[in-house]
Amino acid sequence: MSVLAEKVITRDWHKGANHTLDGYQKNGGYEQLKKALTMAPAAITDEVKKSGLRGRGGAGFPTGLKWSFVPSLEKNTKPRYLAINADESEPGTAKDRFILENDPHLLLEGIGIACFALGAHTCYIYARGEFKHPSAVLDKAIAEAYAAGIFGKKLMGTDFELNVYQVRGAGAYICGEETALLESLEGKKGWPRLKPPFPAVVGLFGSPTVVNNVETIASLPRIFEKGAEWFMKLGTGKSGGTRLVTVSGAVLRPGTYEVSMDTSLRELIYDKAYGQGLPEGRTVKACIPGGSSAPVLTADELDVKLEFDAFKPLQSMAGSGGVMVMDDTACMVRCLWRVARFYAEESCGQCTPCREGQPWMARIIRKIEEGRGEPADLDTLVNVAQAIAPWPPIGLGNTICALGDAGALPVQSFVQKFRKEFEDHIAQKRCPHGETPWGVFGEFK
Protein backbone atom coordinates (compact mmCIF):
# COMPACT_ATOMS: atom_id res chain seq x y z
CA MET A 1 0.00 0.00 0.00
CA SER A 2 1.30 3.37 -0.94
CA VAL A 3 1.06 5.69 2.01
CA LEU A 4 1.04 9.41 1.55
CA ALA A 5 4.44 10.54 2.84
CA GLU A 6 3.52 14.17 3.29
CA LYS A 7 0.51 16.25 2.47
CA VAL A 8 0.99 19.12 0.08
CA ILE A 9 -2.34 20.82 -0.50
CA THR A 10 -4.39 19.72 2.49
CA ARG A 11 -1.59 19.92 5.06
CA ASP A 12 -3.05 22.69 7.19
CA TRP A 13 -6.75 22.21 6.59
CA HIS A 14 -7.40 20.74 10.00
CA LYS A 15 -5.85 23.82 11.64
CA GLY A 16 -8.98 25.84 12.29
CA ALA A 17 -8.68 29.34 10.92
CA ASN A 18 -6.43 28.46 8.01
CA HIS A 19 -8.86 30.11 5.58
CA THR A 20 -8.24 33.52 7.18
CA LEU A 21 -5.10 35.57 6.59
CA ASP A 22 -4.30 35.49 10.26
CA GLY A 23 -4.57 31.74 10.52
CA TYR A 24 -2.73 31.22 7.27
CA GLN A 25 0.18 33.39 8.38
CA LYS A 26 0.36 31.59 11.72
CA ASN A 27 0.94 28.44 9.66
CA GLY A 28 3.83 30.12 7.86
CA GLY A 29 1.79 31.64 5.06
CA TYR A 30 3.22 34.15 2.55
CA GLU A 31 6.83 33.39 3.55
CA GLN A 32 7.35 31.58 0.25
CA LEU A 33 6.10 34.52 -1.79
CA LYS A 34 8.51 36.71 0.14
CA LYS A 35 11.30 34.29 -0.74
CA ALA A 36 10.31 34.07 -4.41
CA LEU A 37 10.33 37.88 -4.69
CA THR A 38 14.08 37.83 -3.97
CA MET A 39 14.69 35.43 -6.85
CA ALA A 40 15.11 36.19 -10.53
CA PRO A 41 11.85 35.44 -12.38
CA ALA A 42 13.59 32.96 -14.69
CA ALA A 43 14.95 31.11 -11.66
CA ILE A 44 11.41 30.69 -10.34
CA THR A 45 10.29 29.14 -13.61
CA ASP A 46 13.34 26.86 -13.53
CA GLU A 47 12.44 25.73 -10.03
CA VAL A 48 8.89 24.94 -11.16
CA LYS A 49 10.26 22.98 -14.11
CA LYS A 50 12.55 21.01 -11.80
CA SER A 51 9.69 20.22 -9.44
CA GLY A 52 7.90 18.21 -12.11
CA LEU A 53 4.65 20.07 -11.42
CA ARG A 54 2.04 19.17 -14.04
CA GLY A 55 -1.32 20.79 -14.64
CA ARG A 56 -4.13 19.52 -12.45
CA GLY A 57 -6.89 20.84 -14.72
CA GLY A 58 -7.05 17.68 -16.77
CA ALA A 59 -4.30 17.55 -19.35
CA GLY A 60 -1.30 17.18 -17.02
CA PHE A 61 0.78 19.63 -19.04
CA PRO A 62 4.13 20.53 -17.41
CA THR A 63 3.58 23.88 -15.71
CA GLY A 64 7.10 25.32 -15.97
CA LEU A 65 7.19 24.47 -19.65
CA LYS A 66 3.88 26.23 -20.24
CA TRP A 67 5.22 29.34 -18.52
CA SER A 68 8.31 29.29 -20.72
CA PHE A 69 6.13 29.66 -23.85
CA VAL A 70 5.34 33.23 -22.85
CA PRO A 71 7.47 35.37 -25.19
CA SER A 72 10.09 37.68 -23.73
CA LEU A 73 9.27 41.35 -23.24
CA GLU A 74 11.71 42.25 -26.03
CA LYS A 75 9.69 40.16 -28.47
CA ASN A 76 6.26 41.11 -27.19
CA THR A 77 5.67 44.24 -25.16
CA LYS A 78 1.99 43.63 -24.35
CA PRO A 79 0.98 43.16 -20.71
CA ARG A 80 0.97 39.58 -19.45
CA TYR A 81 -1.93 37.96 -17.65
CA LEU A 82 -2.43 35.00 -15.37
CA ALA A 83 -5.87 33.41 -15.49
CA ILE A 84 -6.77 30.90 -12.82
CA ASN A 85 -9.18 28.20 -13.89
CA ALA A 86 -11.61 27.67 -11.01
CA ASP A 87 -14.44 26.60 -13.27
CA GLU A 88 -14.43 23.04 -11.90
CA SER A 89 -17.30 21.59 -13.90
CA GLU A 90 -15.96 18.30 -15.19
CA PRO A 91 -18.51 15.74 -13.94
CA GLY A 92 -17.06 13.73 -11.08
CA THR A 93 -14.62 16.44 -10.03
CA ALA A 94 -14.81 18.16 -6.64
CA LYS A 95 -11.43 19.39 -5.46
CA ASP A 96 -10.74 23.02 -6.38
CA ARG A 97 -13.83 24.04 -4.48
CA PHE A 98 -12.27 22.65 -1.29
CA ILE A 99 -9.07 24.61 -1.87
CA LEU A 100 -11.10 27.80 -2.20
CA GLU A 101 -13.11 26.98 0.91
CA ASN A 102 -10.28 25.77 3.15
CA ASP A 103 -7.13 27.43 1.90
CA PRO A 104 -7.82 30.44 -0.34
CA HIS A 105 -4.55 32.11 0.68
CA LEU A 106 -2.58 29.08 -0.51
CA LEU A 107 -3.94 29.84 -3.98
CA LEU A 108 -3.33 33.57 -3.57
CA GLU A 109 0.25 33.03 -2.45
CA GLY A 110 0.77 30.77 -5.46
CA ILE A 111 -0.69 33.49 -7.67
CA GLY A 112 1.82 35.99 -6.31
CA ILE A 113 4.71 33.63 -7.08
CA ALA A 114 3.42 32.81 -10.58
CA CYS A 115 2.67 36.42 -11.52
CA PHE A 116 6.11 37.58 -10.43
CA ALA A 117 7.73 34.79 -12.46
CA LEU A 118 5.62 35.65 -15.50
CA GLY A 119 5.84 39.41 -15.19
CA ALA A 120 2.04 39.52 -14.99
CA HIS A 121 0.58 42.49 -13.12
CA THR A 122 -3.02 41.31 -13.34
CA CYS A 123 -4.55 37.98 -12.43
CA TYR A 124 -8.18 37.00 -12.99
CA ILE A 125 -9.55 34.04 -11.07
CA TYR A 126 -12.44 32.63 -13.08
CA ALA A 127 -14.70 30.74 -10.68
CA ARG A 128 -17.76 28.85 -11.80
CA GLY A 129 -20.95 30.75 -11.15
CA GLU A 130 -22.46 28.10 -8.91
CA PHE A 131 -19.68 28.52 -6.31
CA LYS A 132 -21.50 31.01 -4.12
CA HIS A 133 -19.85 29.96 -0.87
CA PRO A 134 -16.34 29.18 -2.19
CA SER A 135 -16.36 32.51 -4.05
CA ALA A 136 -17.39 34.39 -0.94
CA VAL A 137 -14.51 32.86 1.02
CA LEU A 138 -12.13 33.74 -1.80
CA ASP A 139 -13.40 37.33 -2.06
CA LYS A 140 -12.79 37.78 1.62
CA ALA A 141 -9.27 36.39 1.33
CA ILE A 142 -8.49 38.71 -1.60
CA ALA A 143 -9.74 41.69 0.40
CA GLU A 144 -7.57 40.62 3.36
CA ALA A 145 -4.52 40.37 1.11
CA TYR A 146 -5.09 43.89 -0.25
CA ALA A 147 -5.70 45.31 3.21
CA ALA A 148 -2.48 43.76 4.49
CA GLY A 149 -0.49 45.27 1.64
CA ILE A 150 0.25 41.91 0.09
CA PHE A 151 -1.49 42.69 -3.21
CA GLY A 152 -1.84 46.08 -4.85
CA LYS A 153 0.65 48.70 -6.02
CA LYS A 154 3.47 47.04 -4.10
CA LEU A 155 3.40 43.26 -4.00
CA MET A 156 4.57 42.56 -0.43
CA GLY A 157 6.36 45.88 -0.34
CA THR A 158 8.31 45.41 -3.57
CA ASP A 159 8.01 47.63 -6.64
CA PHE A 160 6.00 44.97 -8.44
CA GLU A 161 2.31 45.86 -8.85
CA LEU A 162 -0.16 43.00 -8.72
CA ASN A 163 -3.92 43.17 -8.91
CA VAL A 164 -6.03 40.07 -8.41
CA TYR A 165 -9.72 39.93 -9.32
CA GLN A 166 -12.25 37.19 -9.04
CA VAL A 167 -14.69 36.87 -11.93
CA ARG A 168 -17.65 34.57 -11.54
CA GLY A 169 -18.97 32.50 -14.42
CA ALA A 170 -22.65 31.94 -14.98
CA GLY A 171 -23.19 28.28 -15.71
CA ALA A 172 -21.46 26.88 -18.79
CA TYR A 173 -19.20 23.83 -18.68
CA ILE A 174 -17.41 24.94 -21.83
CA CYS A 175 -15.94 27.95 -20.00
CA GLY A 176 -13.54 25.54 -18.29
CA GLU A 177 -11.83 25.07 -21.64
CA GLU A 178 -9.03 27.58 -21.52
CA THR A 179 -9.82 29.61 -24.63
CA ALA A 180 -13.56 29.65 -23.87
CA LEU A 181 -12.58 30.85 -20.40
CA LEU A 182 -10.65 33.73 -21.97
CA GLU A 183 -13.61 34.64 -24.19
CA SER A 184 -15.83 34.62 -21.11
CA LEU A 185 -13.32 36.82 -19.24
CA GLU A 186 -13.55 39.21 -22.18
CA GLY A 187 -17.28 39.39 -21.54
CA LYS A 188 -18.46 37.13 -24.34
CA LYS A 189 -20.21 33.82 -24.70
CA GLY A 190 -17.86 30.88 -24.19
CA TRP A 191 -16.88 29.92 -27.70
CA PRO A 192 -13.47 28.21 -27.78
CA ARG A 193 -10.83 29.66 -30.09
CA LEU A 194 -8.87 27.82 -32.72
CA LYS A 195 -5.36 26.94 -31.57
CA PRO A 196 -2.66 27.90 -32.45
CA PRO A 197 -2.04 30.60 -31.46
CA PHE A 198 -1.92 29.31 -27.91
CA PRO A 199 -2.91 31.56 -24.99
CA ALA A 200 0.71 31.86 -23.86
CA VAL A 201 1.27 33.95 -27.00
CA VAL A 202 -2.17 35.37 -27.82
CA GLY A 203 -4.49 35.09 -24.85
CA LEU A 204 -6.61 37.54 -22.89
CA PHE A 205 -7.14 40.84 -24.76
CA GLY A 206 -4.64 39.57 -27.33
CA SER A 207 -1.88 39.45 -24.71
CA PRO A 208 0.33 36.58 -23.56
CA THR A 209 -1.68 34.69 -20.94
CA VAL A 210 -1.04 31.65 -18.81
CA VAL A 211 -4.10 29.64 -17.81
CA ASN A 212 -3.57 27.34 -14.83
CA ASN A 213 -5.83 25.30 -12.63
CA VAL A 214 -6.40 26.17 -8.94
CA GLU A 215 -4.68 23.05 -7.59
CA THR A 216 -1.69 23.60 -9.90
CA ILE A 217 -1.04 27.11 -8.58
CA ALA A 218 -1.85 26.15 -4.97
CA SER A 219 1.06 23.69 -5.15
CA LEU A 220 3.62 26.46 -5.63
CA PRO A 221 4.12 27.67 -2.03
CA ARG A 222 5.11 24.17 -0.90
CA ILE A 223 7.55 23.78 -3.79
CA PHE A 224 9.36 26.90 -2.60
CA GLU A 225 9.14 25.89 1.03
CA LYS A 226 10.54 22.39 0.70
CA GLY A 227 12.34 22.54 -2.62
CA ALA A 228 11.73 21.28 -6.13
CA GLU A 229 13.53 18.01 -5.45
CA TRP A 230 11.35 17.24 -2.45
CA PHE A 231 8.27 17.86 -4.56
CA MET A 232 9.51 15.68 -7.40
CA LYS A 233 10.40 12.90 -4.97
CA LEU A 234 6.88 12.93 -3.54
CA GLY A 235 5.70 12.13 -7.04
CA THR A 236 6.82 9.59 -9.57
CA GLY A 237 10.14 10.92 -10.78
CA LYS A 238 8.49 12.29 -13.91
CA SER A 239 5.64 14.08 -12.26
CA GLY A 240 5.88 15.88 -8.93
CA GLY A 241 3.64 16.22 -5.90
CA THR A 242 0.44 14.58 -4.79
CA ARG A 243 -3.07 14.65 -6.22
CA LEU A 244 -6.46 15.63 -4.92
CA VAL A 245 -8.93 13.04 -6.15
CA THR A 246 -12.64 12.58 -5.60
CA VAL A 247 -14.12 9.13 -5.41
CA SER A 248 -17.88 8.92 -5.85
CA GLY A 249 -20.66 6.50 -6.73
CA ALA A 250 -20.86 2.99 -5.30
CA VAL A 251 -18.22 3.25 -2.55
CA LEU A 252 -18.96 3.26 1.17
CA ARG A 253 -16.98 6.42 1.89
CA PRO A 254 -17.18 8.79 -1.06
CA GLY A 255 -15.13 11.96 -0.72
CA THR A 256 -12.15 14.03 -1.78
CA TYR A 257 -8.74 12.78 -0.69
CA GLU A 258 -5.15 13.85 -1.15
CA VAL A 259 -3.25 10.82 -2.37
CA SER A 260 0.21 9.83 -3.48
CA MET A 261 0.46 9.33 -7.24
CA ASP A 262 1.66 5.87 -6.35
CA THR A 263 -1.85 4.99 -5.19
CA SER A 264 -3.79 2.73 -7.51
CA LEU A 265 -7.43 3.12 -8.45
CA ARG A 266 -8.08 -0.14 -6.63
CA GLU A 267 -6.58 1.28 -3.43
CA LEU A 268 -8.56 4.47 -3.76
CA ILE A 269 -11.76 2.48 -4.06
CA TYR A 270 -11.06 -0.15 -1.37
CA ASP A 271 -8.58 1.24 1.15
CA LYS A 272 -9.93 2.16 4.56
CA ALA A 273 -8.29 5.58 4.34
CA TYR A 274 -10.26 6.33 1.17
CA GLY A 275 -13.34 4.78 -0.43
CA GLN A 276 -13.60 1.77 1.92
CA GLY A 277 -14.90 -0.52 -0.79
CA LEU A 278 -18.44 -1.37 -1.83
CA PRO A 279 -21.32 -2.67 0.29
CA GLU A 280 -21.17 -6.39 0.99
CA GLY A 281 -21.94 -8.57 -1.98
CA ARG A 282 -21.34 -5.83 -4.53
CA THR A 283 -18.42 -5.64 -6.92
CA VAL A 284 -17.10 -2.96 -9.27
CA LYS A 285 -18.48 -3.18 -12.77
CA ALA A 286 -17.06 0.01 -14.19
CA CYS A 287 -14.98 2.99 -13.16
CA ILE A 288 -14.56 6.35 -14.85
CA PRO A 289 -11.12 7.43 -13.66
CA GLY A 290 -10.66 11.12 -14.46
CA GLY A 291 -13.92 12.99 -14.89
CA SER A 292 -16.67 11.88 -17.26
CA SER A 293 -14.56 12.75 -20.31
CA ALA A 294 -12.15 9.91 -19.51
CA PRO A 295 -12.82 6.57 -21.21
CA VAL A 296 -14.39 4.06 -18.82
CA LEU A 297 -12.40 1.20 -17.26
CA THR A 298 -13.56 -2.29 -16.29
CA ALA A 299 -13.03 -4.12 -12.99
CA ASP A 300 -9.92 -5.71 -14.51
CA GLU A 301 -8.27 -2.36 -15.09
CA LEU A 302 -8.12 -0.97 -11.55
CA ASP A 303 -4.47 -1.61 -10.78
CA VAL A 304 -3.41 1.54 -12.57
CA LYS A 305 -1.67 4.26 -10.53
CA LEU A 306 -3.24 7.69 -10.22
CA GLU A 307 -0.49 9.26 -12.22
CA PHE A 308 -0.69 11.13 -15.50
CA ASP A 309 1.22 8.75 -17.76
CA ALA A 310 -0.06 5.51 -16.25
CA PHE A 311 -3.42 5.66 -18.04
CA LYS A 312 -1.97 5.78 -21.53
CA PRO A 313 -1.74 1.99 -22.06
CA LEU A 314 -5.41 1.77 -21.03
CA GLN A 315 -6.34 4.46 -23.58
CA SER A 316 -7.86 6.52 -20.80
CA MET A 317 -6.65 9.43 -18.69
CA ALA A 318 -6.03 10.61 -15.15
CA GLY A 319 -7.81 13.83 -16.14
CA SER A 320 -9.21 15.94 -13.34
CA GLY A 321 -9.13 13.27 -10.64
CA GLY A 322 -12.86 12.58 -10.66
CA VAL A 323 -13.25 8.85 -10.03
CA MET A 324 -16.79 7.51 -10.42
CA VAL A 325 -17.52 3.92 -9.44
CA MET A 326 -20.40 1.85 -10.76
CA ASP A 327 -21.26 -1.49 -9.14
CA ASP A 328 -22.41 -4.74 -10.73
CA THR A 329 -26.09 -3.78 -10.43
CA ALA A 330 -25.81 -0.48 -12.31
CA CYS A 331 -27.01 -0.15 -15.90
CA MET A 332 -24.22 0.89 -18.26
CA VAL A 333 -26.66 2.14 -20.89
CA ARG A 334 -28.39 4.40 -18.41
CA CYS A 335 -25.08 5.71 -17.07
CA LEU A 336 -23.83 6.46 -20.57
CA TRP A 337 -27.10 8.15 -21.49
CA ARG A 338 -26.67 10.56 -18.58
CA VAL A 339 -23.10 11.30 -19.59
CA ALA A 340 -24.11 11.81 -23.23
CA ARG A 341 -26.93 14.17 -22.25
CA PHE A 342 -24.39 16.32 -20.48
CA TYR A 343 -22.20 16.79 -23.54
CA ALA A 344 -25.23 17.35 -25.76
CA GLU A 345 -26.38 20.06 -23.38
CA GLU A 346 -22.97 21.70 -23.01
CA SER A 347 -21.70 21.70 -26.62
CA CYS A 348 -21.24 25.36 -27.52
CA GLY A 349 -22.56 24.68 -31.01
CA GLN A 350 -19.63 26.07 -32.93
CA CYS A 351 -18.54 22.94 -34.85
CA THR A 352 -20.95 20.71 -36.74
CA PRO A 353 -19.72 17.25 -35.64
CA CYS A 354 -20.02 18.23 -31.97
CA ARG A 355 -23.21 20.30 -32.21
CA GLU A 356 -25.09 17.65 -34.21
CA GLY A 357 -23.27 14.55 -33.02
CA GLN A 358 -23.58 14.89 -29.24
CA PRO A 359 -27.41 15.17 -29.21
CA TRP A 360 -27.65 12.46 -31.86
CA MET A 361 -25.66 10.07 -29.66
CA ALA A 362 -27.77 10.94 -26.64
CA ARG A 363 -30.95 10.22 -28.63
CA ILE A 364 -29.70 6.82 -29.80
CA ILE A 365 -28.63 5.81 -26.29
CA ARG A 366 -31.98 6.92 -24.90
CA LYS A 367 -33.77 4.88 -27.54
CA ILE A 368 -31.78 1.77 -26.56
CA GLU A 369 -32.34 2.37 -22.84
CA GLU A 370 -36.07 2.77 -23.38
CA GLY A 371 -36.32 -0.51 -25.24
CA ARG A 372 -36.79 0.94 -28.70
CA GLY A 373 -33.30 0.15 -29.97
CA GLU A 374 -32.57 -1.72 -33.19
CA PRO A 375 -29.47 -3.81 -33.95
CA ALA A 376 -28.11 -1.21 -36.40
CA ASP A 377 -28.18 1.54 -33.74
CA LEU A 378 -24.97 0.43 -32.09
CA ASP A 379 -22.96 0.84 -35.28
CA THR A 380 -24.53 4.21 -35.96
CA LEU A 381 -23.70 5.28 -32.42
CA VAL A 382 -20.05 4.35 -32.76
CA ASN A 383 -19.84 5.90 -36.24
CA VAL A 384 -21.17 9.22 -34.98
CA ALA A 385 -18.70 9.17 -32.10
CA GLN A 386 -15.84 8.38 -34.44
CA ALA A 387 -16.75 11.25 -36.73
CA ILE A 388 -16.26 13.59 -33.76
CA ALA A 389 -13.12 11.94 -32.40
CA PRO A 390 -11.87 8.45 -33.30
CA TRP A 391 -10.58 6.42 -30.34
CA PRO A 392 -8.14 4.92 -29.47
CA PRO A 393 -5.77 6.65 -29.01
CA ILE A 394 -6.83 9.83 -27.24
CA GLY A 395 -6.27 13.10 -29.05
CA LEU A 396 -7.54 12.55 -32.59
CA GLY A 397 -10.51 14.92 -32.32
CA ASN A 398 -11.89 16.68 -35.39
CA THR A 399 -13.30 19.67 -33.57
CA ILE A 400 -12.13 23.10 -32.39
CA CYS A 401 -11.90 22.07 -28.77
CA ALA A 402 -11.60 18.88 -26.75
CA LEU A 403 -15.26 18.89 -25.66
CA GLY A 404 -15.85 17.02 -28.89
CA ASP A 405 -13.50 14.24 -27.75
CA ALA A 406 -14.85 14.43 -24.22
CA GLY A 407 -18.30 13.42 -25.42
CA ALA A 408 -17.18 10.91 -28.03
CA LEU A 409 -14.73 8.90 -25.94
CA PRO A 410 -17.15 7.77 -23.22
CA VAL A 411 -19.53 6.52 -25.92
CA GLN A 412 -16.88 4.49 -27.70
CA SER A 413 -15.40 3.06 -24.52
CA PHE A 414 -18.76 2.11 -22.96
CA VAL A 415 -19.91 0.40 -26.14
CA GLN A 416 -16.61 -1.39 -26.62
CA LYS A 417 -16.32 -2.62 -23.03
CA PHE A 418 -19.98 -3.27 -22.22
CA ARG A 419 -21.35 -4.11 -25.65
CA LYS A 420 -23.32 -7.09 -24.37
CA GLU A 421 -25.42 -4.84 -22.11
CA PHE A 422 -26.35 -2.65 -25.05
CA GLU A 423 -27.21 -5.75 -27.11
CA ASP A 424 -29.32 -7.17 -24.28
CA HIS A 425 -31.34 -3.96 -24.14
CA ILE A 426 -31.97 -4.20 -27.87
CA ALA A 427 -32.79 -7.94 -27.84
CA GLN A 428 -35.09 -7.75 -24.80
CA LYS A 429 -36.65 -4.45 -25.94
CA ARG A 430 -36.33 -3.07 -22.40
CA CYS A 431 -33.81 -2.14 -19.76
CA PRO A 432 -32.98 -5.37 -17.89
CA HIS A 433 -32.44 -3.25 -14.75
CA GLY A 434 -36.01 -2.02 -14.81
CA GLU A 435 -36.71 0.71 -12.27
CA THR A 436 -33.32 0.46 -10.53
CA PRO A 437 -30.65 1.40 -13.07
CA TRP A 438 -28.31 3.28 -10.72
CA GLY A 439 -26.93 0.46 -8.64
CA VAL A 440 -26.47 -0.10 -4.94
CA PHE A 441 -26.92 3.50 -3.73
CA GLY A 442 -29.30 4.56 -6.48
CA GLU A 443 -32.41 4.90 -4.37
CA PHE A 444 -33.24 8.23 -2.71
CA LYS A 445 -33.86 7.69 0.97
Ligand X SMILES: Cc1cc2nc3c(=O)[nH]c(=O)nc-3n(C[C@H](O)[C@H](O)[C@H](O)COP(=O)(O)O)c2cc1C
Interacting residues with ligand SF4 (CB under 6 A): 174, 192, 347-351, 354-355, 399-401, 403-404
- Is position 133 an interface residue for other proteins (rule: CB under 8 A)? yes
- 55 makes contact, choosing from ligand SF4, ligand X, other proteins, none, with CB < 5 to 8 Å by partner type, with ligand X
Task: Enumerate the β-bridge partners of residue 323.
Answer: 247
> For ligand X, which stretch binds (CB under 6 A), given 114-122, 171-179, 230-238, 310-318?
171-179
Applying CB under 8 A, the span of 17-25, 103-111, 234-242, 254-262 interacting with other proteins comes to 254-262
Closest Cα partner for 79 from 121, 124, 42?
121
Q: Which stretch binds other proteins (CB under 8 A): 58-66, 89-97, 264-272, 356-364?
A: 89-97
Q: Which is nearer to ligand SF4, 213 or 399 (CB)?
A: 399
Strand order in the sheet with 120-127: 163-168, 120-127, 80-86, 209-213
In the complex, the smallest distance separating the C-beta of residue 67 from ligand SF4, rounded to whole angstroms, is 25
Name the minimum Å distance from CB 206 to ligand SF4: 20
Residue 183: φ, ψ to 5°: -60, -45
Interface pick for ligand X out of 103, 109, 144, 178 (rule CB under 6 A):
178
**Residue 184 binds ligand X (CB under 6 A):** no
One-letter amino acid at 229 equals E
Q: What are phi and psi of 265, to 5 degrees?
A: -55, -40
Looking at residues 370 to 389 of the shown chain, list those that interact with other proteins (rule: CB under 8 A). none
Q: Is 307 in the site for ligand X (CB under 6 A)?
A: no
* Cα distance between residue 219 and residue 223, in whole Å: 7
208 scored as a contact of other proteins (CB under 8 A): no
C-alpha triplet 55, 58, 63: angle, nearest 5°? 15
Tell me how far, at minimum, the Cβ of 59 lies from ligand X, in Å: 5
Please report how close the Cβ of residue 292 comes to ligand SF4 at its closest, in angstroms.
14
Looking at the Cβ atoms of 58 and 295, the one nearer to ligand X is: 58
- CA angle, 179 then 182 then 185, to 5°: 155
Q: Angle at CA 263, nearest 5°, toward 224 and 343?
A: 90
Run of H or E residues at 123: strand 120-127
Asked if 77 is part of the footprint of other proteins (rule: CB under 8 A), the reply reads no
What mask, x for binding other proteins by CB under 8 A, covers residues 309 to 328? -------------x-xxx--
Give which of ligand X, ligand SF4, other proteins, none residue 373 binds (C-beta under 5 to 8 Å, depending on kind).
Answer: none
Show contacts with ligand X in window 393-422 (CB under 6 A): 401-403, 406
Does 364 interact with other proteins (rule: CB under 8 A)? no
- Structural contact between residues 81 and 165, judged by C-beta atoms closer than 8 angstroms: no
DSSP labels, 179-247: HHHHHHHTTS---PPPSSSPTTTS-GGGS-EEEEEHHHHHTHHHHHHH-HHHHHHHTTSSS-SEEEEEE
- Segment 204 to 243, residues that bind ligand X, using CB under 6 A: 211-213, 216
**Position 329 contacts other proteins (CB under 8 A):** no
How many residues are recorded in the chain?
445
**Bond from prior residue into 437 cis (ω within 30 degrees of 0):** no
Number of CB atoms found within 10 A of residue 16's CB: 11
Q: Which residues, 6+ apart, have CB-to-CB distance to 105 below 8 Å?
A: 18, 19, 21, 24, 29, 30, 141, 144, 145
Applying CB under 6 A, the residues found at the interface with ligand X are 55-59, 61, 85, 87-90, 174, 176-178, 211-213, 216, 401-403, 406
Applying CB under 8 A, the residues found at the interface with other proteins are 88-94, 96-97, 128-133, 163, 165, 167-173, 184-190, 205, 246-250, 254-256, 288, 292, 322, 324-326, 330, 335, 338-339, 342, 345-346, 438-439, 441-445
